[in-house]
Structures are given as C-alpha cells and as structure tokens.
Copies of this chain bind each other. A is one copy, B any other.
Amino acid sequence: MHHRLAQGCVVPLGRDCLTCETRPHSICAALPEGDLLDLQALSTSVHFATREMLMVQGQPAGSVYTITCGCARLYTLLPDGRRQIVGFALPGDFIGLSLAQTAGFSADAIGPVVACAFPRAGFSQFVDARPALLRRLHEQASHELSLAQEQLMLLGRRNAQERIVCFLLGLQQRFARIGRASVTVPLPMGRQDIADCLGLTIETVSRTLTRLSRERMILLVPDGVRLLNAERLAAIAAG
C-alpha cells in the first residue's frame, strides 16, 4: 500500500467555467452566471497521476472536487485489508458532497485524472450563501443515497451474474448521461476494482464475463465491453 499523498499538480491553464463542457452535468449547472464566476475564483484545476490519492478515509478533506476527466475510485478499507469500492467517479461527478471535515472514504485516480478543486471550507461558505446550490447538493446526495440503496440490494440479494450485468448496464447509463451513449461500455477500471465494487473475487468476475461472452450477450473488447443482447441483459438485471 503506497499512497502518493501528493495533492495533484495545479494546472490553471485556460479554464473557463462558462465554456466548461462538464458544467451541464455537474453541480455548477445550478448556478447563475454571476455566481459561476465567483465559484471559478475559488477553484483550481488539478491533475492526478494514476494511483494518486484525492482523499484519504478519516483524514481532513482539504478540498472537494468535480471530476473533469478520467475516473476515480472511492473505497473504504477494513483494517485487515478487505476493500469495498463504494463508487466510481466519472466526469461531472462531485466528490465531497457531504461537506464534512473528515472524509468518509478514500479516493484515488484509476488513470490520469483532471479535476476542478475547491477548498472545502471556502466552498462550504459559498454554498451557505446560495441555497439553490445547497438544494442541488442535497438532490445530488439524495440521488447517491438512492443509488447506494440499489447497490445494497445488489450486494445483499443478487448473484454474481446479476451483479455483473447490473454493473455494466449502470455504467452504460452513466456514460450516456454525460453524452457518451454507446453499446460499447468503457471499463476504465481493472477486474479487481470491479470485484471490490460488486463484492466478488477477481476470478468470479472474470469467469462471469467470459460466460456472458460465450453466450453472446457481451463482447469483451480492450478496456471495455460491447453489449450485444440488450434485451437479455435487461431481463437479467430486472431480476
């Protein structure tokens, strides 16, 4: 376990909230133009290298982030090393919704990540002065809560095949919502990450994917999956 505890490298080049491509998918969509510029003044653009930590469970969170590019994994660890990935953050996703001082989970970069960073304290104050943004944060948190509850059903009551299929369809939907709709779903994370997200082992993930592949429901492609039989997949996910 080797944290690179760096804070990423600040890259303040040509950022402009007004023309930001991820804005419509982010919490910033809740802000009028004027406030947007105020928020921009608070923000810095940061790059994270692969495996670099965005935040560490239990430690004070200096910043909150909106992911701009790449994919981060959010996870919790047990003292004995067991890991549960509680989510993957894609472009547009906000990390640090709770605004709590100490982070409830760890987060690191799966590959190179670019994010919009806000100092937590300053952002919190900013929010307090803008109920509309707070409302948006709350809606976002509520949405995450409902996703987490779906995940509880997945982990508590679904078998390996269902978990994998739900995972793939869920990812597809998320990519669709940020304008990357496709039958080919990118899998920026490794098999072990998928396993730790779905409460399985890497072997079971691999076997299940190859079985789905043999049965012509999916096609495994480099760093992704093509969904071949949407109907059957949806039927499996429905339960």
The answer, yes or no, to whether A134 is at the interface (CB within 8 Å) is yes
Chain B residue numbers with a CB within 8 Å of A144 are 145
A212 and B238 alpha carbons, distance in the complex (Å)? 37
Task: Known A86-B152, A131-B131, A155-B155; judge A145-B239 contact (CB<8 A).
Answer: no
Binding site for B on A (CB under 8 A): 76, 78-80, 82-84, 86, 97-100, 104-105, 128, 131, 134-135, 137-139, 141-146, 148-153, 155-158, 196-199, 238-239
Are B76's CB and A149's CB within 8 A? yes
Are B97's CB and A142's CB within 8 A? yes
Between-chain CB contacts (< 8 Å), 29 pairs? A76-B150, A78-B153, A80-B239, A82-B153, A83-B157, A84-B152, A84-B153, A84-B157, A86-B149, A86-B152, A97-B145, A98-B142, A99-B142, A104-B145, A105-B149, A131-B131, A134-B134, A134-B135, A137-B138, A138-B138, A141-B141, A141-B145, A148-B149, A148-B151, A148-B152, A152-B155, A155-B199, A156-B198, A156-B199
A199 and B153 alpha carbons, distance in the complex (Å)? 8
Are B131's CB and A238's CB within 8 A? no
Closest-CB distance, A81 to chain B (whole angstroms): 9
Query: Which residue of the partner chain B has the closest CB to A146?
Result: B104
Closest-CB distance, A137 to chain B (whole angstroms): 6
Chain B residue numbers with a CB within 8 Å of A104 are 145-146, 149
Query: Which residue of the partner chain B has the closest CB to A143?
Result: B98
A99 and B136 alpha carbons, distance in the complex (Å)? 12
Closest-CB distance, A192 to chain B (whole angstroms): 13
